[in-house]
Structure 1
Amino acid sequence: MVAGLGSWCGPALYSERHGLRRHSFPLDWMQSPFLPDVNTLLRNKFQGFMEVENIIEKDILANYVDDNGYPIFKSGTSESIRAHYVTDIKYNIDSVHDFPMVPNQDWSVQYPPYKIRLDHRIQTFLNQIAQSQRTLFIRYEWMPTSYEDVINLKSILTDMTNGNFNLLLVETVDEELHGVKDMNFGTPEDKICWVQVSRDNCTNTSVWNDLLSGITLLN
Structure 2
Amino acid sequence: MENYQHVISLGHFCAVASELERLGYRDASLPFDWLITPFESVMHMIETNFNDFLVLENLKRDEKRKYIIKDTKYNIAFYHDYKPNQSIETQHEIVKAKYDRRIKRFYDYITEKTLFIRYIESKKEYEFICENYDHIMSVLRKYNKDNDLMLVSKDIKAVELPMHTIYLDNVPYKTPQKFAKTNKELYKVLTSIPYPDEKRMLNINRYRKSFPKRFFNSLRKLYIKLIYS
Whether these two folds match at TM > 0.5 is yes
How far off is 1:60 after superposition?
4.7
Q: What residue number does 1:65 align with?
A: none
Structure 1 or 2: larger helix share?
Answer: 2
- Residue identity in the other structure for 1:195: I
Over the residues paired in the alignment, what is the CA RMSD in angstroms? 2.2
Pick from 129, 132, 135 the counterpart of residue 149 of structure 1: 132
Change (3 A) 1:26 1:126: same
* 1:45 partnered with 2:49: yes
How far off is 1:24 after superposition?
0.8
* 1:206 partnered with 2:189: no
Structure 1 or 2: larger strand share?
Answer: 1
Q: Counterparts of 1:129 and 1:38 in 2: how far apart (Å)?
A: 15
Pick from 195, 198, 217 the counterpart of residue 217 of structure 1: 195
User: What's the CA shift string for 1:9-30, capped at 9, x where partnerless?
Assistant: 1221100000110011101000
Change (3 A) 1:22 1:151: same
Q: Is the 8 A contact 1:35 1:149 kept in 2?
A: no
- Residue identity in the other structure for 2:159: M
User: What's the CA shift string for 1:125-169, capped at 9, x where partnerless?
Assistant: 011102x1x21100111111021133332121122x225121111
- Residue identity in the other structure for 1:137: F
Unaligned ranges ≥5, structure 1: 62-82, 176-180, 187-191
Q: What residue number does 1:172 align with?
A: 154
Q: Is the 8 A contact 2:11 2:33 kept in 1?
A: yes
Q: Counterparts of 2:189 and 2:172 in 1: how far apart (Å)?
A: 15
Q: Is the 8 A contact 1:168 1:193 kept in 2?
A: yes
* 1:3 partnered with 2:8: yes
User: What's the CA shift string for 1:162-186, capped at 9, x where partnerless?
Assistant: 251211111223x8xxxxx982643
Identity %, equivalent residues: 27
* 1:88 partnered with 2:60: no
- The number of residue pairs the alignment matches comes to 181
Unaligned ranges ≥5, structure 2: 1-5, 200-229
Q: Counterparts of 2:117 and 2:46 in 1: how far apart (Å)?
A: 14
What stretches of structure 1 move > 3 A for 4+ residues in a row?
none
Q: Counterparts of 1:195 and 1:99 in 2: how far apart (Å)?
A: 33
Structure with the larger RCO, 1 or 2 (CA within 8 Å, 6+ apart): 2
How far off is 1:211 after superposition?
4.4
1:42-191 mapped onto 2 (5 Å cutoff): 42-61=46-65, 84-102=67-85, 105-130=86-111, 132=112, 134-144=113-123, 145-146=126-127, 147-159=130-142, 161-173=143-155, 183=159, 185-186=161-162
Q: Counterparts of 1:86 and 1:211 in 2: how far apart (Å)?
A: 34
Q: Counterparts of 1:110 and 1:216 in 2: how far apart (Å)?
A: 40
